[in-house]
Amino acid sequence: MKTILLRPEDYTRSPWKNGGGTFTDIAGAWRADAAARDWSSLLWRFASTPIVAPGPFSHMPGIDRLQMVVNGRGLVLKSPTQEFDEREPFTTVRFTGEMEIVTALEEGPVEVVNLMARRGAAEIELVALMEPGERRLAAGTHLVYAARGDCRIRLDGEEFSLSHEDTLKVELAAVSQLALVSGLAVLGSVRLLG
């Protein structure tokens, strides 16, 4: 097990693919052989972003996306064929980067976390840990994000305290046990394929 505590001052900022806003990049991975870290070489990315006005999402062919509101409420994602209801915070929605999506903000601006991955390169999961309790973590990369205030977690018996917006990045070679001790956290999990 390898852990790294990432703090907000470690995060970087980058524009949305369509230029309509800015991501706070928390963690990510790109192909090792790529000349540049860009959308074409992306393997996975964990980020937060404010959505302050209705508008279109970026077109991201080949990317699978998970998203969750962590501050605010009332977000709905609308595509020509379906709606993704994120009106209640900490509800995860899954959609593909090819979908034409426009946001509706029913109760004002929100902040979301995104976990995205190149289809076929990784499997991803995004869940809110809202009640103390244990869960099994598979081998892979896990990101525990203190989305609302401080939280404490226990990983295979070792305790970690995270301040608001800190992220504990955990690399696991084998199955482990994660427990939320106090507070609230968002857990992003990535398993690379192949």
128-144 pLDDT, tens digit each: 999 999 999 999 999 99
| Angle, vertex CA 77, rays to CA 71 and CA 78, nearest 5 | 160
Q: What pLDDT does 24 receive?
A: 94
Contact, 148 vs 184, CB < 8 A?
yes
Q: Tokens 């209705």 sit at which residue?
A: 54
In angstroms, what CA-CA distances link 25 with 16, 32, 49, 167? Answer: 11, 19, 9, 11
Residue 48 and residue 156: Cα distance in Å, rounded? 27
* Sheet order of strands, 83-86 included: 83-86, 75-78, 102-105
Q: What pLDDT does 136 receive?
A: 97
Q: What pLDDT does 38 receive?
A: 79
pTM for this one?
0.94
Region of 97 (left: φ > 0; alpha: ψ -120 to 50; beta: rest) is alpha
Spans of the chain below 50 pLDDT: none
Q: Retrieve residue 18's tokens.
A: 């369509």
- Non-local (6+) Cβ contacts of 81 within 8 A are none
